[in-house]
Amino acid sequence: MTRPKIYIDGQSGTTGLEIRQRLADRSDIDLLIIPEDRRHEEAARKQMFEEADLAFLCLPDEAAREAVQLAEGTGVRLIDASTAHRTAWTYGFPELDRNQEERIRQADKVANPGCHATGFIAAVAPLSRSGLLDPETVLTAFSLTGYTGGGKKMIAAYETGKTPQMEAPKAYGLDLNHKHLPEMM
């Protein structure tokens, strides 16, 4: 049996680097590495999708949507780490219900769940499924986050020019229009 070939589209971003590091020393897969100077070339990326059995999309939302179009027809299975497809694709949370793990195994496109949404869903879904929580109940979710999910620019700002204001938590996403809200609902 041949080893699965895995490509990371967005391999130089924070998520892509983490996945690449975790997969780099594995002998049971072939990690496809796109040359740094070609990572923005559509033809080079398309070739990687064609060669890969599985690809991780570690891109901003709009770029992830574009990557799906680029991968169309290649037969590659996709796991998207962005929020672009979390409510449209198979949700990559095997503990969600007794059939979710099999759905993930069979899916060609899997949306990787968000960390804050996963914590919320892990607590709320069983209560809702069991009837202990009315689906119409209004809930509030509170969580704290760091800065690494904000991308390279935010990481650089925090690591090279941190201001006193950056030291304290601040509220955001209070307008009920946060990008994780559809996933949590």
> What pLDDT is recorded for position 93?
94
Q: Mean pLDDT, consecutive 10-residue segments, the chain of 185 residues?
A: 93 90 96 94 97 97 97 98 95 93 97 90 92 91 73 76 78 74 82
Supply the DSSP string of 69-83, one letter for each residue.
Answer: HHHTTS--EEEE-SS
**Where does 10-89 have alpha helices with state H?**
14-23, 42-51, 61-71
Q: Return the SS3 of 7.
A: strand
CA distances from 77 to 17, 52, 53, 56, 61 (A): 20, 8, 6, 9, 18
Say how far apart CA 87 and CA 185 lie, in whole Å. 9
User: Any idea which residue has 């975790």 for tokens?
Assistant: 22
CA distances from 141 to 2, 34, 84, 180 (A): 45, 39, 21, 11
Say how far apart CA 151 and CA 134 lie, in whole Å. 37
> What pLDDT is recorded for position 91?
95
CA distances from 122 to 6, 23, 94, 129, 158 (A): 29, 27, 11, 11, 31
Please say if 115 is a catalytic residue. yes
Domains and CATH numbers, the chain: 5-113 (3.40.50.720), 116-184 (no CATH)
Active-site residue identified among 24, 33, 88, 115: 115
> What pLDDT is recorded for position 184?
83
> What pLDDT is recorded for position 182?
84
Note whether 68 and 78 are within 8 A (CB): yes
> What pLDDT is recorded for position 144?
77
